[in-house]
Structure 1
Amino acid sequence: MKLSQIKSILPTLDNVEFQLENGSFVPEHFHVTEVGEVTKKFIDCGGVIRLEKIINFQLWNADDYEHRLKPGKLLSIIELSESKLGIEDAEIEVEYQSTTIGKYDLDFNGTHFLLKNKQTACLAEDQCGIPSQKTKIQLVNLSSQNSCTPGSRCC
Structure 2
Amino acid sequence: MTLRQVKEHLAEMDTLQFQLPDGSTVPSHFHVTEVGQVSKDFIDCGGTLRHEKAVNFQLWNADDVDHRLQPKKLKNIIKLSEKKLFIDDSLEVEVEYQGNTIGKYSLEFREGKFHLASTLTDCLAKDQCGIPEPQTEEQSSSCALGSGCC
TM-score under structure 2 normalisation?
Answer: 0.88
Q: Which residue of 2 aligns with 1:97?
A: 98
Aligned partner of residue 78 in structure 2, secondary structure: helix
Q: Which residue does 2:9 correspond to in 1?
A: 9
Q: In the alignment, what sits opposite 1:81?
A: 81
SS at match of 1:126: helix
Q: How much has 1:110 moved relative to structure 2?
A: 3.3
- Which residue number in structure 2 is paired with residue 152 of structure 1? none
What do residues 11-47 of structure 1 show as CA deviations (whole Å, max 9, x unaligned)?
1001110001110000000000000000000000000
4+ runs of 1 displaced by more than 6 Å?
Answer: none
Q: Distance in 1 between matches of 2:134 and 2:69?
A: 44
**Per-residue CA distance 1:121-142 (angstroms, 9 max, x = gap):** 00001111111125959xxxxx
The two structures, once aligned, show a CA RMSD in angstroms of 1.3
Larger Rg belongs to: 1
- In structure 2, the partner of 1:63 is 63
* C-alpha distance in structure 2 between counterparts of 1:109 and 1:45, whole Å: 36
Tell me the SS of whatever aligns to 2:97. strand
The count of residues paired between Structure 1 and Structure 2 equals 137
Partners of 1:133 and 1:12 in 2: CA distance: 40
User: What TM-score does the superposition give when structure 1 sets the normalisation length?
Assistant: 0.86
Q: Within 5 A, what are the aligned runs for 1:132-143?
A: 132-133=133-134
- Structure 2: which 5+ residue stretches go unaligned? 142-150
Q: Distance in 2 between matches of 1:102 and 1:124?
A: 25
Distance 2:86 2:140 in 1: 49
Partner SS, residue 94 of structure 2: strand
